[in-house]
Structure formats: C-alpha cells, structure tokens
C-alpha cells in the first residue's frame, strides 16, 4: 500500500447544519430521508475500515431533537440511518428513540447486537419507530470473533437476542463474513441454516476483505496470503487472499451459493414473520428488494423508483403505528417514552 491522506481537524458534529435534501431528485431514491445522527463506533474490528492505521474518528452525536426535525422535514414515511453504529452509546440511542417517537415515522439503522443487553432499550427503539436493524453478527464461531477483535455477544446467545428484536416488531438484516481462519467449506450451509431457523428477514454476506492499512491487511501481508493489490476488487464480493481452510474458488462459490439460497422462493417463505400481519409487507419488500433485480433498471430509467416504493413503505408505517400502540398497551407499567421535542409532538 502506498500513498497517504491528510485531513484537517474535525469540527463538532452537533453544530453541523442539515443537508439540503430538497436538491435531490426524489424520483431517483427509495427515500430521501437518509440521516446521520452519530459518527464513529466503539468497536475496532480488525477487518473494518474504521480500524485503518492512524485513522481516528472520535464518537460524536448530533442533537436528537435536530435529527427528529430533519426526518419530519424530509417529508418521507421512512428514514434510514447510515451511521456506522447507531447503538454505540445506548444512552444516546434511548434519547434519540424518544425524540423520534413523536414523528410517527419509521426508520432503520445499523446497531451492534449488544443493544439487546437492555430489553427496555429495544422496546423504546420500537416505540420510536424502528422497524428494522442491520446487525453485524459476522460469524457463528466465537474464535472468528476473537480473531477479528469484535466485542460482541457470543454466538450461542444470538438466537435469544434476535427473538427480542422480533418480539418488539423489529426485523433483522444479519451481516455475515465468510473466510475467517476457522471457516471451512461447511460454513455456508451452517450459516444459511441458522438464518432460516431464526427467521432473519434479510441477510447480507461478505467475503472477508483486508482493506489497506487495517490490522487484517497487515496480518495477511506478513503471512504472504494476499493474492494481488487490485484495489477495485477489494469490495467484499471478490476473494483477494488465500483462506486457511478452503481454496479461493471454494470461498467465492460458497458466498455466491449463500446468496442464491437465501433469496430463493423457498427460503423467503421459511423466514416469513410469525405475526401474520407482518407477512404481506415482508413478502413485498423481499421480492421487490432482492428478487426483482431485473426490474430496477426499468424503474430507474422511467423514474418510478420512489413512486413504487413509497406506497409500500406507507403501508408498513401505518401497520407499525398500530403495532406501537399495542406494544405500549402491553407494558403500561414501564415509563412513558414519548417526550415533547421542540413542538414536534
């Protein structure tokens, strides 16, 4: 790896103004309600770009009230947080969820699995409008997590924590990485079977990729396991190193098989939600999102992306608002979570 990048000092994120979403061509987006409430992550996983040598991103947060206002101003039923890890500070996530509850919008975010250490926090996320989370499980093997330096609940407890999300009406998109040193050819079937058994609504797979200047890259380089330095292929969809327990070809074929299997008609049906009321929107989203890749160029070319997607999301939003009321009614003994936020409520 050659080259360097120098940046100036970062300002206070809480003082940054809202982005000018009105300049976006709404027709070209699933939602223009993309939000960033935090910067950074408390984890420093060895394969993650955030662990790049000499990269220091202090964890910063924006005012929850401002984020709620931005979501309302976007005029979308659905917002998506593109933070690295919205759950790095649980106290902040709790406050943010309370602020967002006033908007009656729905949203999704990437969070670490340890937010389930506090079941009442997961409930507050749901009452705040969270309908889905992206969770980096990474592996079902504890040794792989240790190798990656990932601070996470152990795989034996994954199922219980997924069930906690589901009982609060939150769908789970599980992220898994293939190619760790403990992964053999059986890892693909084992992972897919676990996903189906626990009814994860979606799954995202990655081939372990040693980004330049990360601890994983330094390890692979020292061991002589890098296949090349064609940086354009360091995209988690190509094999760029020699795995320990399989060939590069085995790793790629297993990765491709896992995607074909998890988005097959049979697997989509096996993973349907246990709540029958959630099945129709789940099926609609599953087929439109992953099974209809050939449809997307047509939708984009004819500027129909937002027009097709928004009504489906609005159905989900209304269903979740009703679910929130039932969830709140079931546990009246818990503290009230909706708090006034600068005139939003």
CA distance 132 to 269: 18
- The predicted structure's pLDDT at residue 292: 64
pLDDT at 40: 84
State residue 252's pLDDT score. 99
Chunked into runs of 10 residues, the chain (345 residues) has average pLDDT values of 59 81 90 93 79 79 95 95 94 97 96 96 97 97 92 94 96 97 98 98 96 93 97 97 98 98 95 89 81 79 91 91 91 47 47
> Which residues, including other chains, have CB under 8 Å from residue 269's CB and lie 6 or more apart?
none
Which residues are CB-neighbours of 332 under 8 A, at least 6 positions away?
A: none
Task: Give residue 332's pLDDT.
Answer: 54
Query: What's residue 334's pLDDT?
Result: 47
Structural domain contains residue 69: yes
Domain annotation covers residue 204: yes
Does the pTM surpass 0.85? The reply is yes
d(CA 34, CA 64): 15
In Å, the largest CA–CA distance within the chain is 60
Q: What is the CATH number of the domain that holds 279?
A: 3.80.30.20
The verdict on residue 274 lying in a domain is: yes
The answer as to whether 100 is a domain residue is yes
| Residue 339 located in a structural domain | no
Per the domain annotation, does 1 fall within a domain?
Answer: no
Mapped onto helix, strand or coil, the DSSP state of residue 261 is helix
User: Does 300 fall in a domain?
Assistant: yes
- Give a yes or no: residue 127 inside a domain: yes
Residue 93, domain extent: 32-330
Provide the domain count of the chain: 1
As to burial, measured by CB atoms within 10 angstroms (0-12 exposed, 13-18 middle, 19+ buried), residue 201 is buried
Distance CA 132, CA 168 (A): 10
pLDDT for res 284: 83
Q: What is the pLDDT of residue 4?
A: 63
């Amino acid at each position: 790896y050659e080259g360097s990048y120098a940046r100036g000092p970062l300002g206070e994120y809480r003082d940054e103004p809202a982005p000018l979403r009105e300049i976006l061509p709404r027709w070209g987006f699933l939602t223009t309600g993309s939000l960033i409430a935090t910067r950074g992550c408390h984890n420093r996983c060895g394969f993650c770009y955030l662990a790049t040598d000499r990269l220091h991103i202090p964890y910063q947060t924006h005012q929850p009230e401002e984020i709620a206002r931005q979501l309302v101003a976007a005029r979308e039923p659905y917002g998506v947080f593109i933070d690295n890890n919205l759950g790095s500070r649980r106290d902040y996530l709790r406050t943010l969820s309370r602020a967002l509850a006033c908007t009656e919008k729905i949203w999704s975010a990437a969070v670490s699995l340890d937010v389930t250490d506090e079941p009442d926090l997961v409930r507050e996320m749901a009452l705040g409008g969270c309908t889905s989370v992206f969770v980096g499980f990474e592996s079902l093997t504890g040794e792989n997590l240790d190798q990656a330096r990932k601070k996470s609940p152990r795989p034996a407890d994954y199922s219980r924590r997924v069930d906690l999300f589901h009982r609060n009406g939150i769908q789970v998109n599980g992220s898994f990485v293939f190619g760790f040193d403990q992964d053999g050819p059986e890892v693909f079937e084992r992972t897919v079977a676990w996903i189906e058994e626990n009814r994860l609504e979606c799954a995202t797979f990655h081939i372990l990729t040693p980004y330049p200047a990360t601890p994983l890259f330094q390890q692979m380089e020292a061991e002589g396991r890098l296949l090349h330095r064609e940086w354009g292929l360091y995209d988690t969809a190509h094999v760029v190193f020699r795995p320990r327990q399989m060939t590069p070809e085995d790793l790629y074929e297993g990765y491709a098989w896992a995607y074909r299997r998890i988005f097959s008609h049979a697997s989509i049906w096996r993973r349907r939600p246990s709540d029958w009321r959630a099945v129709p929107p789940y099926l609609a989203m599953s087929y439109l999102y992953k099974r209809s890749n050939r449809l997307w160029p047509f939708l984009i070319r004819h500027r129909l992306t937002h027009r097709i997607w928004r009504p489906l999301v609005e159905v989900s939003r209304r269903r979740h608002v009703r679910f929130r009321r039932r969830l709140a009614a079931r546990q009246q003994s818990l503290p009230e979570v909706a708090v006034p936020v600068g005139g939003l409520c």
